[in-house]
Amino acid sequence: MSKVAVLAIGGNSLIPDAQHQTIPDQHRAAAETCRHVVRLIREGYNVVLTHGNGPQVGFLLRRSELAAHELHRIPLDICVADTQGAIGYQLQIALRNEFQRLGMNRTALTVVTQVIVDRDDPAFKKPSKPVGGFMSAQDAEKRRAEWGWEVVEDAGRGWRRVVASPEPKEIVEFEPIEALVKTGFVVVAVGGGGIPVYQDPERGLVGTAAVIDKDLASSLLASKLKADLLIVSTAVEKVYLHFGKPEQKALDSVTVGEARRYIAEGHFKPGSMLPKVQAAVGFVERGGEQAIITDPDHLVSAVKGSAGTRIVAG
């Protein structure tokens, strides 16, 4: 296979809604997502699959809180590692079943991936990424005092823990990922943005309580692999200006310069479309040919140029 595509799938590809969160629900969602992934593979791409893990990490953190009276708590970096393994398993089994159904001799595997961040990243001084569930003001203050959490009030809905979301700097397991891709494996990597670690002068790599944006980590991985294509999968077919308003406008093809102008004008919501556009822009600015943002149903048609939003140089 001569063409490499890094495909970042969103949380909706694994947990479509609040009514379908059980493990069997997740297996069914993974199977549906992987049918689209395999269609892309059949178009001639060797796919590197990345994924989000926000809901799954939230579930683990909640279980840890409920069991804290009896068992040790689970640090956030371990939650990311746990979910990388669990989601990787769900994707591997779904891909294997689809390969067998279609008579394809392909193998998928997961690389539990660490991503280095800068301990002096400004994000650590002002944590802003919500994790876990909502709390009362009383419980939030208790967690702040006993567990050292940073907590904030969230738009009148309750209090939540917030952690840093630093920029990804280096992928620790990049060399084995690259070797596996070159061998023809379908690799699942940098799940949830990667396990956040930093380099300590004395202790070496150390895990930290942070969340790395999975689209930005996927963009970094795509650049290092010199991938032909970065695809960011989301809940909508295209990127829109004035999204949700009567004057909303779908974007078919956007240059990096245009995308940066739209970012500056505030068209894209932080924590939603903004990091996806930033990831696409970053990939192209670092020498990538093009990036695509679309939903799973339009994955192949977007690659063929008849759907999705395409970000190109210029």
Query: DSSP letters of 187-256?
Result: EE-SGGG-EEEEEETTTEEEE-SB---HHHHHHHHHHHHT-SEEEEE-SSSSEEESTTSTT-EEESEEEH
| The predicted structure's pLDDT at residue 12 | 65
Please indicate, yes or no, whether residues 59 and 29 belong to a single structural domain of this protein. yes
Please indicate, yes or no, whether residues 144 and 24 belong to a single structural domain of this protein. no
Please indicate, yes or no, whether residues 103 and 249 belong to a single structural domain of this protein. no
Please indicate, yes or no, whether residues 174 and 64 belong to a single structural domain of this protein. yes
- 97 within 8 A of 38, measured Cβ to Cβ: no
| The predicted structure's pLDDT at residue 19 | 85
Choice among 10, 12, 53, 132 that is catalytic: 12
| The predicted structure's pLDDT at residue 133 | 81
| The predicted structure's pLDDT at residue 90 | 96
Distance (Å, whole) CA 188 – CA 196: 17
Please indicate, yes or no, whether residues 143 and 265 belong to a single structural domain of this protein. no
Q: Is 125 a catalytic residue?
A: no
Please indicate, yes or no, whether residues 112 and 137 belong to a single structural domain of this protein. no
- 5 within 8 A of 231, measured Cβ to Cβ: yes
Q: Is 169 a catalytic residue?
A: no
Which domain covers residue 132, as residue numbers?
Answer: 127-163
Q: Is 269 a catalytic residue?
A: no
Distance (Å, whole) CA 231 – CA 136: 39
Please indicate, yes or no, whether residues 141 and 177 belong to a single structural domain of this protein. no
Domain closes at, from 197, 217, 233: 233
Instruction: Write the single-letter amino acid at 254.
Output: V
Q: Could you tell me the pTM of the whole model?
A: 0.93
The segments of the chain whose pLDDT lies below 70 read 1, 11-12
Domain closes at, from 217, 233, 249: 233
Q: What element of type H or E holds 87?
A: helix 76-102
Distance (Å, whole) CA 47 – CA 37: 8
| The predicted structure's pLDDT at residue 273 | 93
Helix (H, G, I), strand (E, B) or coil at 80: helix
Distance (Å, whole) CA 306 – CA 297: 12
Q: Is 46 a catalytic residue?
A: no
Choice among 54, 132, 193, 214 that is catalytic: 214
Closest CA to 290 of 243, 231, 237: 231
Choice among 10, 132, 238, 276 that is catalytic: 276
Choice among 11, 52, 132, 194 that is catalytic: 11
Please indicate, yes or no, whether residues 66 and 47 belong to a single structural domain of this protein. yes
Question: What phi and psi values does residue 163 have, to the nearest 5 degrees?
Answer: -130, 170
Please indicate, yes or no, whether residues 177 and 92 belong to a single structural domain of this protein. yes
Question: How many domains is the chain partitioned into structurally?
Answer: 3
Helix (H, G, I), strand (E, B) or coil at 304: coil
Q: Is 249 a catalytic residue?
A: no
Distance (Å, whole) CA 174 – CA 157: 40
The 10 Å CB-count burial string (b at 16+, else e) for 157-192 is eebbbbbbbbebeebbbbeebbebbeeebbbbbbbb
- Both tokens assigned to 67: 């069991």
CA 23 to chain CA centroid, Å, is 19
Please indicate, yes or no, whether residues 112 and 135 belong to a single structural domain of this protein. no
38 burial (CB, 10 Å; 0-12 / 13-18 / 19+) is: buried
Distance (Å, whole) CA 23 – CA 115: 27
- 197 within 8 A of 206, measured Cβ to Cβ: yes
| The predicted structure's pLDDT at residue 314 | 85
Please indicate, yes or no, whether residues 214 and 288 belong to a single structural domain of this protein. no
Please indicate, yes or no, whether residues 213 and 240 belong to a single structural domain of this protein. no
Q: How many Cβ atoms from other residues are within 10 Å of residue 44's Cβ?
A: 11
Closest CA to 14 of 86, 80, 105, 113: 86
CATH code of the domain covering residue 111 = 3.40.1160.10
- Both tokens assigned to 33: 């997502």
Q: What element of type H or E holds 277?
A: helix 273-285
Domain closes at, from 209, 233, 257: 233
Choice among 10, 54, 88, 129 that is catalytic: 129
Closest CA to 212 of 75, 48, 54: 54
